Amino acid sequence: MAHSREDKHESAPHSGQAAPEVSRRGFLAQGTAALAGASAVAAALSPLRHLAPGDVPTVEEFFQKHYKEMTDEEKRQVFARIRQAAEKRFGVELDLADPPPMDGVEFVYGLNISRCIGCRRCVHACVEENNQSRAPEIQYIRVLQMEKGSINVETADHHYDPPLVPDADKYYMPVQCHQCAKPPCVKVCPVEATWQEPDGITVIDYDWCIGCRYCEAACPYWARRFNFAEPEIPQEELNPNTAYLSNRPRQKGVMEKCTYCLQRTRVGRMPACVEVCPTGSRKFGNVLDPESEVAYILQHKRVYVLKEDVGTIPRFFYYFDERGSRYREPITADGPGGDA
Amino acid sequence: MKKYATFLWDCFRLSFVGDWRYHLWMTILTLVALFGLYAYCQQLVYGLVTTGMTDQVSWGLYIANFTYLVGLAAAAAMLVIPVYVYRNMHLHDVVIFGELLAVAVIIMCLLFVMADLGRPDRFMHLFWRFNFPISMLTWDVIALNGYLLLNLHICGYLVYCAYCGRRPSPLFYVPFVFIAIVWAISIHTVTAFLYVGLGGRPFWNSAIIAPRFLASAFAAGPAFIILTLQVVRGCTRHRVSNDALLTLRRIVQVAMIINLFLLACEVFTEFYTDSAHVESARYLYFGLQGHRALVPWIWSAVAMNLAATALLVLPASRGLRVLNVACVLSIVGIWIEKGMGLIVPAFVPTPLGEVVEYFPTSHEIAICLGIWAFGLLLYTIFVRISVPVLAGELTYEKRAAAPRVEAAPTREGNLAKE
Amino acid sequence: MRAVDSRLRESLHAYACGAVSWCAPSGLVACMSEQAAPSAIRRSRLSVCAALLICACSLAFNPLPFESPVSRPAAVPAWATDATAVRQPSLAPRYRAGVFTYGCNDCHKILPAGAGDTVRTVIQHREIVLEHGINTWCLSCHHPVNRNAFVDDRGGEIPWNQPQRLCAKCHGPVYRDWQHGSHGRTNGYWDTTRGEQTRRRCIECHDPHRPPFPSMRPAPGPNTLRMGRQHGRDRHEAHHPLRIGGPGGGAGPHGTGLGEE
């Protein structure tokens, strides 16, 4: 509570009869102070000189509309711009498509945990197909090595690296975006940058996302990824067959996730992870078609979903069939229970 | 209109005037704020990789500070309720400082959110497609900005009326004050609902989060105001009665007790049940699989909160020295438990069971300190302006009579009495 | 475009300086009205200037450089994304001995066929080890007379390019699943109206003489941004879910895994 004695110097208001020489000196002093302040602010802003040309949005990019509001002409212009930017950045000619959802189609994924051996080929095939960043590493699929007897992911191991898989005591559960029917990520996005399409795929408009990462916090399956840095993709590994809503090259500051390879599946092809799986554990198709593989699986196999209690109604089913485990003993006629 | 422009001009000039302590304080704050700005520019260039956040822990120090500060802003209402609802006149003269604090703090909250965005250049997208009423973030945007405007109006109107030398008309501020009371509760409830509504994060998916937010806000906020009022009393001529401080002390006391009770409820529910959902709480209090980064923090916070509550309950805290210690303890303790102790553990382990810890980087810390410094800078300017204006020392008439007069005393803390 | 953007960048400097220098001197006009600048104010103003200039200089020299935590990505081996099937059997009745390739019937038309029930040790094809459960007899699958074909339940022939009919003799449920697409990999198009769908046949994944699916080397695990030290989970840490054989689980870290590299 001490009061300074210095107030004597500046106590009473003056009537402001300033002599010219004082005001000149005063002006110089204030000018110096102002200049010092200005230079300090400029120095604080100086790291911005390292901004890459692509980081500062152009006028068209700034006013680009949400995907759902763009007319066909606007989409054409936007795609042309994206192709140009990709050519500049990677030197690759992109084949940027925009396949619409097919009528009467709802995509569903089946994963046979009796057969998955945890080899992680799906992870890397996905990375190549979907132009994911290699540094920092982004992988949509995460394979969990689960303890037998437990479906609790708390006891799972993500970083297993034995010389051979499968480990006989474990089972393997790859997790990726489940394209839930009640997606919590869509609920929480403040700008509607992510939404669910009629064929069940939850998509992201990378040019609309503001990068708040609320969807990443909301996802119960840890399926969404954020570009913390500018994604780095080796030029020779860039996949030019891209779509606006799925695997076109992204920039830093936006979210991305598995889209069931909609650049492939919306033209009738299988996703990359299905095509590479050596044991054929991955099944994909249109659940509305009663003759499809996935319809058969859902009808006849013991199917379950992960974290059902969260109420997301995933479109990704795990199932198991007769063979479930890696047996240790060979089958012989005189084994236990035999007639010998 | 001309009067209003002159008012703004005078406020602007006045904020550069003060004694050496004022200039030192403001210079330090400016330097820290500039350093934060520099670190933020680096974040704009390189992306959020300059922070310690990862896909596993995707919200960190920025959102932690944001959560804490929303509570601080809500607590400005804690000054308003006793005065306007219960007609407790002890606090009548200090309500304005609570409102001004709310303005500065809400601006800090908005800055923290902007700093956290991956694409801040796209925040205009909020205007074009606004996922209201489904996304809780949209409710938060409306609540925070509305609260800012409410408090700006109330403070601005009262200060401007004092500047013009006329009595403020109750019609123009009392209804807003009552709206602000309800709105203050709602901003913090909405912020709590951001976290509570996520089924994939069992640490947050609990009904107790919102009441705990309010209880801790109403402890930390008035504690902060107790400290700032003593600074105002020491540095300006504004009179702050001890009764005001003691009324605030009572509020902090009760709020801390409620906060501790709610903490006990939460801890019991988690650890007695001992289900798989307890992993996040186990990480926070005891560490998980050898990862123990938050354990010393949370136990310090618990100790500080207990100590603060004990001190506040004792009659010794009627003395300002002990009261100040208790206030500092409660402010820091609640910052830890509400910031780091709430945001980060929900991400550890991830929904798939992976344990990745979060360590804020120096860039992140620099930006946080920079925003705090900027907020304190704003609040100091607000106080610097409003004290002389409300005391009637800087008015339009006085200014109009002597055009080149620096009407306000250039040295604060001038005389102990008029 | 690039020129415009770089000009925009540089103008950030100019605008920042300009804006602040426009505001600041006018803001300090307040102090102009003092009669004489007392030494205290001068000292204070000087120290503020000095502080700001020191700040400007230090910030211009990048006091807090950003060191990227992003590690170089580990090269992903080509086999990790190789979609070819696990085995590439010839799917033809061929046998390779040394540098020669024979058709099966080239020899077996000449050699006497075994009587239906006798089981005798093979003299040729000794490199083939039959580990097919309780199926220990070659002629369970191979036709006793026409070695270019397989044998069905009644002694008839199954053509060499229809191995699934052979396996279906015993592995009914799996065959049914295979037919409906639930077993075995599907490649190509899920929508067969738009393109071709290909399915693997049994022996393209399973060695018929040693059918259990081979173990293989796992592709590299995740190495995400700032993930910290991640090691395999400690098996003795929590209660093992199965608790076979006592606490910590009864099994070794790797079972006697069937299969080979």
Pairwise CB contact (< 8 Å): B55 & C225: yes
Give residue C16's pLDDT. Answer: 45
Asked if residue B17 has pLDDT above 90, the reply is: no
β pairing state of A202-204 and A302-304 = unpaired
pLDDT at C241: 66
Interface of A with B in 317-336 (CB under 8 A): none
Residue A6 has pLDDT above 90, yes or no: no
Average pLDDT value for residue range A6-19: 36
Q: Identify whether A247 is part of a domain.
A: yes
Sign of CA dihedral B59, B61, B65, B66: negative
Residue-level pLDDT at A328: 60
pLDDT digit string (tens) for A309-322?
999 999 999 998 86
Q: Quick one: DSSP state of residue C132?
A: B
**Residue A265 clears pLDDT 70, i.e. is over it:** yes
For C238, list phi and psi in degrees, rounded to 5.
Answer: -100, -175
Contact (CB, 8 A) for A206 and A256? yes
Q: Tokens 């618990």 belong to which residue?
A: B302
Q: Is C59 on the interface with B (CB under 8 A)?
A: yes
Q: What pLDDT, on a 0 to 100 scale, did the predictor assign at position B117? A: 96
Tell whether C212 is covered by a domain.
Answer: no
Lowest mean pLDDT segment, chosen from A63-67, A78-82, B18-22: B18-22
Contact A14 B406 (CB under 8 A): yes
Lowest mean pLDDT among A162-166, B89-93, B376-380, C146-150: B89-93
Q: Per-residue pLDDT tens for C65-80?
A: 888 888 888 788 888 8
* Interval B265-302: pLDDT, tens: 999 999 999 888 889 999 999 998 889 999 999 999 99
Q: For residue A245, tell me if it sits in a domain.
A: yes
> How confident is the model at residue C186, as a pLDDT?
92
Domain range for B84: 2-118+135-401
Pair A284, A274: CB distance under 8 Å: yes
ipTM for the predicted complex: 0.90
pLDDT for position A168: 83
**Is A89 part of any domain?**
no
Confidence (pLDDT) at C117? 65
Of B402 and B309, which is predicted with more confidence?
B309
**pLDDT, tens only, C195-250:** 999 998 898 889 999 888 888 999 999 999 999 888 765 544 555 666 665 554 44
pLDDT in tens, B93-144: 788 888 999 999 999 999 999 999 999 999 899 999 999 899 999 999 999 9
- Assigned domain for A224 exists: yes
Residue B345 included in any domain: yes
Close Cβ partners of C185 (under 8 Å, ≥ 6 residues apart): A274, A275, A277, A278, A279, A280, A282, C85, C199, C200, C205
What mean pLDDT is reported for chain B? 90
Question: Are the C-beta atoms of residues A188 and A131 closer than 8 Å to each other?
Answer: no
Smallest CA–CA separation between A172 and chain B, in Å?
Answer: 13
* pLDDT at residue A321 in the model: 81
Domain count for chain B: 1
**What pLDDT is recorded for position C38?**
67
Check residue C71 and give its pLDDT: 83
A65 contact residues in B (CB cutoff 8 A):
128
Position A103 pLDDT exceeds 70: yes
* pLDDT surpasses 80 at B54: yes
pLDDT of residue C36: 39
Question: Mapping DSSP to helix (H, G, I), strand (E, B) and coil, where does residue A170 land?
Answer: strand
- In terms of residue numbers, what domain contains C114? 87-204
Q: A: neighbours with 3+ CB pairs under 8 Å?
A: B, C
Higher per-residue confidence, B120 vs C18 = B120
DSSP string over C133-186: TTB--GGGTB-SS-TTSEE-TTS-EE-TT-HHHHHTTT-HHHHHHHHHTSSS-E
Band the pLDDT of C11: cuts 50, 70, 90: very low
Mean pLDDT in residue range C93-118 = 78
pLDDT of residue B86: 80
pLDDT band at B376 (very low <50, low <70, confident <90, very high): very high
Structure confidence at residue A225 as a pLDDT band (50, 70, 90):
very high
In a mutational test of the A interface, the residue from C182, C200, C204 whose CB has the highest number of chain A CBs within 10 Å is C182
Beta strands in chain A (DSSP E): 95-97, 107-112, 142-147, 170-175, 194-196, 202-204, 224-226, 241-243, 255-257, 282-286, 302-304, 316-320
Kindly state the percentage of chain B with pLDDT values over 70.
95
When pLDDT is cut at 50, 70 and 90, the band that residue B80 belongs to is confident
Question: Which of B51-65, B142-156, C4-18, C21-35 is predicted with the least confidence, judged by mean pLDDT?
Answer: C21-35
- Residue B129 within any structural domain of the chain: no
**Residue A176 near residue A141, CB atoms below 8 Å:** yes
- Distance from the B170 Cα atom to the nearest Cα atom in chain A, whole angstroms: 33
DSSP state of A269: B
Residue B168 lies in a domain: yes
A190 occurs within a structural domain? yes
| Mean pLDDT within B388-408 | 68
What is the distance in angstroms between the CA of the first residue and the CA of the last residue of chain A?
100
* pLDDT of the residue at C250: 44
Predicted pLDDT at B85: 80
* A301-305, B387-391, C25-29, C66-70: least confidently modelled range: C25-29
Count CB atoms within 10 A of the CB of residue C75.
10
By Cβ distance, the residue of C28, C194, C240 closest to A34 is: C28
Q: How far lies A258's CA from each of A141, A203, A268, in Å?
A: 8, 9, 17
Higher pLDDT, A8 or B206: B206
Nearest residue of C to residue B403, measured between CA atoms: C33
Identify the bridge partners of residue A242 per DSSP, sorted by sequence position. Answer: A96
CATH code for position B283: 1.20.1630.10
What's the pLDDT score for residue C238?
53
**Comparing A13-17, A208-212, C102-106, which segment has the lowest mean pLDDT?**
A13-17
pLDDT of residue A335: 63
CATH number (domain holding residue A297): 3.30.70.20
Best of A4, A5, A175 to disrupt the B interface by mutation (most B CBs within 10 Å)? Answer: A4
pLDDT, residue A339, reads 56
pLDDT higher than 90, residue A84: yes
* Residue A43 domain flag: no
Range of the domain at A212: 107-320
pLDDT at A229: 94
CA distance C94 to C108: 12
Partners of residue A188 in chain B, C-beta under 8 Å: 135-137, 197-198
Among B105-109, B225-229, C90-94, top mean pLDDT goes to B105-109
Of C36 and B127, more confident: B127
Residues in A 147-206 with any Cβ partner in B closer than 8 A: 152-156, 158, 175, 184, 187-193
Residue A99 maps to a domain: no
CA distances from C73 to A141, A231, B144, C151, C189 (A): 17, 12, 42, 52, 32
Q: Which residues of C touch A29 (CB under 8 A)?
A: 37, 42, 45
Domain count, chain C: 1
What percent of chain B clears pLDDT 90, i.e. is strictly above it? 67
User: Do A220 and A310 touch, CB atoms closer than 8 A?
Assistant: yes
Cβ C185–A118 below 8 Å, yes or no?
no
Confidence (pLDDT) at A3: 35
Mean pLDDT of A201-205: 97
Q: Sign of the C-alpha dihedral, residues B265, B268, B273, B279?
A: positive
In chain A, the residue whose alpha carbon lies closest to the alpha carbon of C65 is A47
The token pair at C154 is 């009644």
Chain A residues closer than 8 Å to C205 by CB? 278-280
Give me the number of domains chain A comprises.
1
For residue A237, pLDDT over 50 is answered with: yes
Cα–Cα distances in angstroms (integers) from residue C143 to residues A160, C151, C154, C155, C160, in the given order: 45, 4, 11, 7, 10
pLDDT for the residue C35 = 37
Q: What number of other Cβ atoms are within 10 A of residue A249's Cβ?
A: 21
Higher per-residue confidence, B402 vs C107: C107
Distance, CA of A218 to CA of B346 (rounded, Å): 11
* Domain membership flag for residue B416: no
DSSP letter at A8? G
| Confidence (pLDDT) at A290 | 94
pLDDT of residue C102: 84
Q: For residue C132, is pLDDT > 90?
A: no
Cβ distance C33 to B363 less than 8 Å, yes or no, reads no
pLDDT of residue C89: 81
Option in C30, C33, C69 nearest B49 (CB)? C69
Bridge pairing between strands A170-175 and A142-147: antiparallel
Query: How far is residue A301's CA from residue B114's CA, in Å, rounded to a whole number?
Result: 49
Highest mean pLDDT: which of A240-254, B381-395, C3-17, C138-152?
A240-254
As a whole number of angstroms, the distance between CA B34 and CA C59 comes to 9
Pairing of β A255-257 and β A224-226: antiparallel
In tens, the pLDDT along B154-197 reads 999 999 998 888 888 989 888 999 899 899 999 999 999 999 99
B387 neighbors B237 (Cβ within 8 angstroms)? yes
Q: A33 pLDDT exceeds 90?
A: no
Flag whether pLDDT at C24 surpasses 60: no
**Confidence (pLDDT) at C260:** 34
Query: Does the pLDDT value for residue A28 go beyond 90?
Result: no
* Mean pLDDT calculated for residue range A80-109: 94
Confidence of residue B409 (pLDDT cuts 50, 70, 90): very low
- pLDDT at res. C233: 59
Identify the pLDDT of residue B195.
96
Rounded to whole angstroms, how far apart are CA atoms B383 and B319? 25
